[in-house]
């Protein structure tokens, strides 16, 4: 029978970029158990952790640092939608994303800034600014590994709703 640590390790390897709360929910384990086993697995270098936007995202150490950051961002609905649109349509202006995604300009700006800092999206220097993927081929491969969970989508949509109240 698999131990809790084995279950945690296997789950993270099957859902790279998964965040801490999702590990708890998916495996139906207590917060303390998740903390203990994830900390041990990271300390033993069996898993890696990326801390992005106040959330800890776990993956297999076989992924390079860029891939781990990309996986963490792509677990978030709005960031994933931005990356998907740029991947599908090629370079885009932030205003087009605001319209297409039906989110506030500030939301797009915040996500684009974070994606840019992480090296996933590149902002052009010319005006009007356009956005493109830094590593389009690798991004396409990483996108195939990520499918959002229902709780992730609900949290992202709640943030969108609150954001729309301040427009």
Coil, helix or strand at residue 84: helix
Encoding tokens for residue 2?
Answer: 């698999």
Coil, helix or strand at residue 137: helix
CATH class of residue range 4-63: mainly alpha
- Could you tell me the residue ranges of all domains in the chain? 4-63, 76-146
**CB-neighbour burial class of residue 22 (10 A; exposed 0-12, middle 13-18, buried 19+):** buried
Instruction: Give the whole-angstrom CA distance, residue 36 versus residue 104.
Output: 39
Calculate helix-pair angle for 105-117, 94-101, nearest 10 degrees.
120
pLDDT for the residue numbered 151: 57
Coil, helix or strand at residue 2: coil
4-63 against 76-146: fold identical: yes
Q: Which of 18, 8, 66 is nearest to 41 (CA)?
A: 8
Quickly name the fold that domain 76-146 has: Arc Repressor Mutant, subunit A (1.10.10)
Calculate helix-pair angle for 77-89, 94-101, nearest 10 degrees.
120
Mean pLDDT by 10 residues, the chain (167 residues): 89 94 94 96 97 92 96 91 93 92 92 96 91 95 76 60 66
pLDDT for the residue numbered 163: 64
Instruction: Give the whole-angstrom CA distance, residue 153 versus residue 135.
Output: 25
Q: Phi and psi at residue 36, in whole multiples of 5°?
A: -60, -50
Instruction: Give the whole-angstrom CA distance, residue 47 versus residue 44.
Output: 8
């Amino acid at each position: 029978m698999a131990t809790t640590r084995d279950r945690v390790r296997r789950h993270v390897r099957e859902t790279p970029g998964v965040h801490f709360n999702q590990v708890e929910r998916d495996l139906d384990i207590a917060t303390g158990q998740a903390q203990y086993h994830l900390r041990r697995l990271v300390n033993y270098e069996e898993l890696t952790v990326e801390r992005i936007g106040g959330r800890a995202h776990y993956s297999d150490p076989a992924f390079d640092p860029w891939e781990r950051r990309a996986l963490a961002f792509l677990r978030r609905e709005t960031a994933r939608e931005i990356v998907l649109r740029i991947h599908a349509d090629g370079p885009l202006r932030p205003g087009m994303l605001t319209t297409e995604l039906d989110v506030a300009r500030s939301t797009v700006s915040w996500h684009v800034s974070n994606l840019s800092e992480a090296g996933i999206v590149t902002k052009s220097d010319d005006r009007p600014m356009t956005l493109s993927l830094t590593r389009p081929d690798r991004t396409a491969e990483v996108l195939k590994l990520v499918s959002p969970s229902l709780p992730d989508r609900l949290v992202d949509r709640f943030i969108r709703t609150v954001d729309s109240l301040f427009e």
